[in-house]
Structure 1
């Protein structure tokens, strides 16, 4: 047994030197794109000025301002008077069962969104909350909504 332990360091050194020294791997990284065509699918070159903002600049967003009801304009004014939300407050309009409805985003994490009818009455809270499924009063909203339009988004 003692003989085995005396050969163990020699055996380990032999194994390491016999396999490690024989494998000389050279890794090179191209520094320019003049290497020529590459077989297989190509990867697009990185953008010179990468964007860090997921949403478009406020000036680029076009809002649907046609026939905003008075109650909705008051809601927008109230949101603008508050501290800016993160994520930005948004109001979208949809057609649901042939009628126009308005969807207000939630101010933050695990809070309910709100769905209003054309007169400003709360229909339901379609998503958000701890489960992400809202209050359960309009479970088919996501499947049945059509004609999405951005009515307003806080630009601050």
Structure 2
């Protein structure tokens, strides 16, 4: 036991004495490229904006009355984490509305333009929903964020 502790101590000491320095270049290379045409030159300026951008712009055009009522019902409930989102898509040549699930193994819901539930395209234990619209994620188009719970 004592021998293994001594061996570990020697290894640790040897590793710490190597004084490995890690540097990141901050000057652009003279050619303007780093190893080819696809890699951008490094930059010395901060490329991460820590300030949050503007709030998401919701598409409120022609929201059906049933959808406004659904939003009011969601606002009356306890807020979810992650926040509930509603998207409008074109699917099977019709306008549909997708309501995200609150969490985990819960089903999301897909409504037709009249507010009738069409299916639950994802969620559940398998993550594949109820199986009634298995091609939704592959065939949906024209995504527009209609609403997201604004409560923080």
Same fold by TM-score, threshold 0.5 exceeded? yes
Which residue does the alignment assign to 1:94? 89
Alignment of 1:87-126 (within 5 A): 87-126=82-121
Structure 2 Cα separation of the partners of residues 130 and 31 of structure 1: 45
Shift in alpha-carbon separation, 1:48–1:96, aligned structure 2, 3 A: closer
Which residue does the alignment assign to 2:6? none
Structure 1 Cα separation of the partners of residues 129 and 71 of structure 2: 22
Which residue does the alignment assign to 1:154? 149
Aligned residue pairs total 130
Q: Which runs of 4+ in 1 moved over 6 A?
A: none
Which residue does the alignment assign to 2:21? 28
Which residue does the alignment assign to 2:63? 68
Deviation at 1:47, TM superposition (A): 3.6
Deviation at 1:97, TM superposition (A): 1.6
Deviations 1:60-100 (A, max 9, x none): 21111111111100000111111111011000000112110
TM-score where L is the length of structure 2? 0.72
Gaps of 5+ in 2: 1-9
Structure 2 Cα separation of the partners of residues 90 and 45 of structure 1: 38
1:135 equivalent to 2:130? Answer yes
Specify the structure having the higher radius of gyration (Cα).
1
Structure 2 Cα separation of the partners of residues 90 and 137 of structure 1: 21
Shift in alpha-carbon separation, 1:47–1:69, aligned structure 2, 3 A: same
Contact 2:87 2:97 in 1 (8 A): yes
RMSD: 3.0
TM-score where L is the length of structure 1? 0.70
Which residue does the alignment assign to 2:7? none
